[in-house]
Structure 1
Amino acid sequence: MHVFVTGASGFVGSAVVNELLSAGHTVLGLVRSEIAFQKLQDMGAEVQLGDVNDLETIKKCAIRCDAVIHTAFNHDFSKFKANCEADRLVIEALGDALAGTEKPLVVTSGIGLLRYDRLLTEDDKPAVSSEVLPRVATEEASAVAAAKGVNVYIVRLPPTVHGHGDHGFISILIGMAKTNGRSAFIGDGQNRWPAVHRLDAAKVYRLIVEKQPKQKVFHAVAEEGITFKDIAERIGKGIQLPTEGLEGADAEKHFSWFLHFASINCASSSQKTYTILDWKPTQVGLLEDIQIAYIV
């Protein structure tokens, strides 16, 4: 298959590109910089230089290919709502390009947007709208595309997709620990984060475009829930700083804008993903990877 990948030079996107190429597929990757252009070309992919918000360009790329995998997302949290709405427009444009075809459109969402006091499953839907939780815009746009007959799939990623080169949540927590002189968790730290290695997550995307199953939502979750306290303690041990449970103003001061994310409790099942896709994660777990890939 010839697959169009947005965010092709990103942390997850580049792993998806490599996974597709290794399986014998061809890739058209969208990148924003000349450096990323060369890197992707060296991997063996066809490359389109441009911005994912250039809707006419991404439509043309989608039409040219047999499948589309959308991994691009602007993680500048200072304008989070605007970025979520931009993602809505991208998904709508990709859906319009693929309407009337059977070509799969695989969209990236997040498990953290689900709000249920139990183990989450692939069949769960967001309990609130994007007016309450902006990231839900991604799944709302996917539903609109599906209503037009587009063959849409959703891959929900956990709060931490880990591995070498990650600048996401674990790196942020390490930076906060170094700044504040301690690693921290909130309350008793028993809120749980699911996790997956980027290379295992990439397999989920590939398997979806290859199998195109009836199930439309998948959880790229290798570990269903690791307590935030365990994560904080592993970070503290790695950088040789004390680990403390914080509450109220102390937690707000330590985590600042990240307080919401540090509070997320979204342990998640991926049983249907394992069974339907015959997905078998093989990479190291999060706590071990913190020692390997993050602590320097």
Structure 2
Amino acid sequence: MHILVTGATGWIGSHLVPLLSADGHQVTGLARSDASAAALTGAGHGVIRGGLADVDVIADAAAAADAVVHLAYVHDFSDPAAQITLDRGAIGAIGETLAGTGKPFVFASGTPVGPGRPSKETDLGLDGALAARAESAQIALAFADRGVRTSAVRLPRSVHGTGDHGFIAQLVAIARSAGVAGYVGDGAHRWNGVHVDDAARLFRDALYSAPGGTVLHAIGDEGVRVKAIAESIGRGLGLPTASVEPAALGFLGMLQTMDHASTSTVAQDLLGWQPQGATLLDDIDAGHYFD
């Protein structure tokens, strides 16, 4: 297949694209920067220049592809509404272009906050701080009714591994600056996670065989208490661990006021996917977050 991947040089994309290439597929990546374009061409992949705002470029690239994986997302927490608008523009461009073709369209979303229990694939997550991106996922999934084989891969709060610059790396930076590895409240709230290699495999598996309208959770750790995460960071930095006010951790402090445990039953039962990579705590304890 000829597969269009947005975010092809990003954290998950850089692990997914080699899997697709190894299976004999032709990959074209949407590249906003010269560095991303050079990385793709250097690895023998195609390049379409543009960003998420370039909906006509995205639509044309989707029309030329046999399948689309949408991973790109601008994680600018200073203006989340603008990033949601960008994302929905790209989703609409891809979905409208693929309508009636039966082609696969796999996109990244996030696991919802569980309603007093670990969240499941059937939970919509249309309430609370993470609702806007869940609404975007519903817009994308609705294209299944218009002849697109859509599937959502919901990602946990931490997609971890060597080279990760996400939330765990940010918590490490905050702890190093503050001189203490902090957690919110009593630290009992849970943080879900998956190794980046396992996440990439689930996107590949969804692309190949997930039925239209499927929601999948990429979950390795269903829930690790945030206090345990802070303790692991403290060990790695040689710092004490303490409860702190949410503001001390910024956006991540707000996230720690909620419980993020999730299950991955559908991914395992429907696609036979199983997490194989290191656990979140093992990955932190391995030391690469402190280099």
Question: TM-score, structure 2 length as denominator?
Answer: 0.94
Aligned-pair distance for 1:107?
1.2
User: Is the 1:92–1:144 Cα contact (8 Å) retained in structure 2?
Assistant: no
SS in 1 for 2:153: strand
Superimposed CA distance per residue, residues 45-101 of structure 1 (whole angstroms, 9 cap, x where no aligned partner): 111121122001111111111110000000011011210121111101110010011
Q: Determine if the alignment matches structure 1 residue 114 to structure 2 residue 116.
A: no
Q: How does 1:133-148 map onto structure 2 within 5 Å? A: 133-148=131-146
Aligned-pair distance for 1:199?
1.1
* Residues 214 and 96 of structure 1, relative CA distance in 2, 3 Å threshold: closer
- The equivalent of 2:219 in structure 1 is 221
- The equivalent of 1:29 in structure 2 is 29
User: What are the ranges of 5 or more consecutive residues in structure 1 without an aligned counterpart?
Assistant: none
Q: How much identity, in percent, do the aligned residues show? A: 38
Aligned-pair distance for 1:245?
1.7
SS in 2 for 1:154: strand
- The equivalent of 1:256 in structure 2 is 250
Aligned-pair distance for 1:215?
6.2
- What letter corresponds to residue 197 of structure 1 in structure 2? H
- What letter corresponds to residue 295 of structure 1 in structure 2? F
- What letter corresponds to residue 106 of structure 2 in structure 1? V
Q: Determine if the alignment matches structure 1 residue 155 to structure 2 residue 148.
A: no
Q: How does 1:122-201 map onto structure 2 within 5 Å? A: 122-128=121-127, 133-201=131-199
Q: Determine if the alignment matches structure 1 residue 236 to structure 2 residue 234.
A: yes
Counterpart of 1:273 (choices 267, 270, 278) is 267
Higher mean C-alpha displacement, 67-76 vs 84-93: 84-93
User: What are the ranges of 5 or more consecutive residues in structure 2 without an aligned counterpart?
Assistant: none
In the aligned structure 2, how far is the partner of 1:61 from the partner of 1:46? 11
- The equivalent of 1:294 in structure 2 is 289
In the aligned structure 1, how far is the partner of 2:30 from the partner of 2:77? 22
Instruction: Report which of the two has the higher share of helix.
Output: 1
Aligned-pair distance for 1:129?
8.0
In the aligned structure 2, how far is the partner of 1:215 from the partner of 1:83? 24
User: Is the 2:114–2:260 Cα contact (8 Å) retained in structure 1?
Assistant: yes
Higher mean C-alpha displacement, 173-182 vs 18-27: 18-27
- What letter corresponds to residue 185 of structure 2 in structure 1? G
Aligned-pair distance for 1:36?
1.5
- The equivalent of 2:43 in structure 1 is 43
User: Is the 1:80–1:134 Cα contact (8 Å) retained in structure 2?
Assistant: no
User: Is the 2:52–2:86 Cα contact (8 Å) retained in structure 1?
Assistant: no
In the aligned structure 2, how far is the partner of 1:253 from the partner of 1:225? 23
User: Is the 2:4–2:29 Cα contact (8 Å) retained in structure 1?
Assistant: yes
Aligned-pair distance for 1:5?
0.2
Q: Determine if the alignment matches structure 1 residue 19 to structure 2 residue 14.
A: no
User: Is the 1:71–1:108 Cα contact (8 Å) retained in structure 2?
Assistant: yes
In the aligned structure 2, how far is the partner of 1:253 from the partner of 1:269? 29
- The equivalent of 2:4 in structure 1 is 4
CA RMSD of aligned residues (A): 1.8
In the aligned structure 1, how far is the partner of 2:132 from the partner of 2:212? 27
In the aligned structure 2, how far is the partner of 1:150 from the partner of 1:229? 42
- The equivalent of 1:94 in structure 2 is 94
Aligned-pair distance for 1:23?
2.1
Counterpart of 1:282 (choices 262, 276, 291) is 276
Aligned-pair distance for 1:214?
5.5
User: Is the 1:81–1:135 Cα contact (8 Å) retained in structure 2?
Assistant: no
* Residues 157 and 280 of structure 1, relative CA distance in 2, 3 Å threshold: same
Superimposed CA distance per residue, residues 180-234 of structure 1 (whole angstroms, 9 cap, x where no aligned partner): 1100111111111111111110001111111133660000111111111111100
Higher mean C-alpha displacement, 96-105 vs 24-33: 24-33
Alignment: residue pair count: 290
